[in-house]
Each structure stands twice: as C-alpha cells, then as structure tokens.
Amino acid sequence: MNILISQGEQKVNQAIATHFHQRGETPVLLFTDRDKHLEFMLDQPGQETVFCEKYEEEVLDAVIVEVFGDQGVEVLIHGNEMVDEEKKLEEDPFLLDELIRGYLYRIFLLNKVVVRQMIKPKRGKLYSPYSMTLFTMQGMLALQF
C-alpha cells in the first residue's frame, strides 16, 4: 500500500509511520524542514522519507510522482501539527489566525495534488486532523472513496 504522511518533522507523525512500518507497509514521511529531514534520515535509515523544498502544487506533484510513480498515493495521512494554540492566542491572535490558515491551505493543496492522482483508479483514502476549537482537540477525519 502506498502511504504518504505529511508533517514528517513531528514525532507523533513519525510514530504513525513506525506503526505502519511494523505492519509491513512502507509509509513515506513528507518533510519540509531540511535539517529535521536529514536528522531523521540518520536516526531512522530504514524509514522512507521525501523532502519537499516548496509547498507548491507543481513541486508537490513532482515529488509524489518521483516517490510513488504511476501507482500514486493510496492513503494520504495529513500529519498533526504541534502548536500551543493557547500561548499563540495570548501572544498574537492575528498570528494564530495566519498560522491556522497556512495549515489549512497546506492540507487543501496536498489533497488537491493527491486526489487528482486517485481519480483515475477511483480509489484512495484521506485522513486529516480536525478540531472542535482552533485545533485544540486532535482527531482524525477519514474520507474514503
């Protein structure tokens, strides 16, 4: 199964990848921070990873094709972001708003790229974090088609 997990920098997302790896799957962690990517590759040489320099549609599309080829992604897991929302809200509410909008845009963009590849075989699964209030309650929303 071709599994892509975003936000590879976060330990919780690395734990998700480890879970699938232990089940015999080969998940790929998507990193956007070069230093954290290199550090993780040295610590976990058996775990598949990919680095994406820019979170742009064309770049993401090229990275996914490079890693998964014509088979594409079968399961996309939007990894959780780890942010202290309460602290950010106290410090600068407008910055928190901007931060959340950025997270949601990255989820939208990655969905757009991956779902476009899932349409031809008419199969795929998406898992996304969702929240009740400002990402305070973490969870997973599953979409399957």
Q: Which residues pair with 30 in a beta bridge?
A: 50
Closest by alpha carbon to 10, among 25, 27, 32, 43? 32
Q: Would you tell me how many other CB atoms lie within 10 Å of the CB of residue 112?
A: 12
Q: At 84, is the pLDDT very low, low, confident or very high (cuts 50, 70, 90)?
A: confident
What pLDDT, on the 0 to 100 scale, is given for residue 70?
84
pLDDT tens digits, one per residue of 103-121: 889 989 999 999 988 887 7
Average pLDDT over residues 52-71: 93
What's at 144, amino acid-wise? Q
What pLDDT, on the 0 to 100 scale, is given for residue 130?
52
Closest by alpha carbon to 143, among 45, 86, 84, 76? 76
Q: Are 100 and 135 in contact (CB under 8 A)?
A: yes
